[in-house]
Amino acid sequence: METMNGQTTPNAAPTLADLPEDIRKQAEEAFWTGHYPYLMQALTVAMSRCQVWRLVNSDEVFTLVEVFNFAKDWDEQHPPKEGEFYLVSVEGAIGLCCHVEYTVKWLFTPMEPGAERDALLQDMQQQLEKMAAEEEGVQAAASVPPAESATPPPFPGVPPTMTPPPFPPPFQG
């Protein structure tokens, strides 16, 4: 059970409204401008377009899981600097900009289609399924009893057995 907007709901995902004001403004600005102060934010956008990347100027290949782990560590160790931001191309490439959009230093470019990419995607899918199965096993081992009622009453403060008063008839003038 988690608390969200003052109500207790089972496994509620946080929404933008649940974030502190400064973080909410930063997320909204990043959404509208495409300037992401954190690599993890850029990856969130890029992963809808691509799941396997090549490191620029290298033959190293990274799957979504590997880039995710890298981005998480990178963001923890390197806080955003004033004027620096990440961009995501239409194809899913991720680049770093310093103050202006037209000077992009591309970091990750989408891997070209082919048998190698298909094999990496299949391996990644198997890894994710294994992680999901392990997570289910952990939850089952915890054996948390279910809540009495997963759905909140339709009107807060009104017992579920009471019905709300009828709406007044529409204005007829």
What does the pLDDT profile of the chain (173 residues) look like in tens digits? 444 455 544 555 566 566 677 777 777 777 667 788 889 888 888 888 888 899 898 888 888 888 888 999 999 998 888 888 898 888 889 999 987 767 889 999 998 888 888 888 888 888 888 888 887 776 666 655 555 544 554 445 545 554 445 555 555 55
In a domain, 163, yes or no: no
The whole-angstrom separation of Cα 45 and Cα 41 is: 7
Phi and psi at 149, nearest 5°, equal -140, 120
- In this structure, is residue 136 part of a structural domain? no
**150 within a domain of the structure (yes/no):** no
Tokens found for residue 130? 């294994």
52: in domain:
yes
Q: How many domains does the chain have?
A: 1
Inside any domain, residue 61: yes
Domain range for residue 80? 30-112
Does residue 88 lie in a domain region?
A: yes
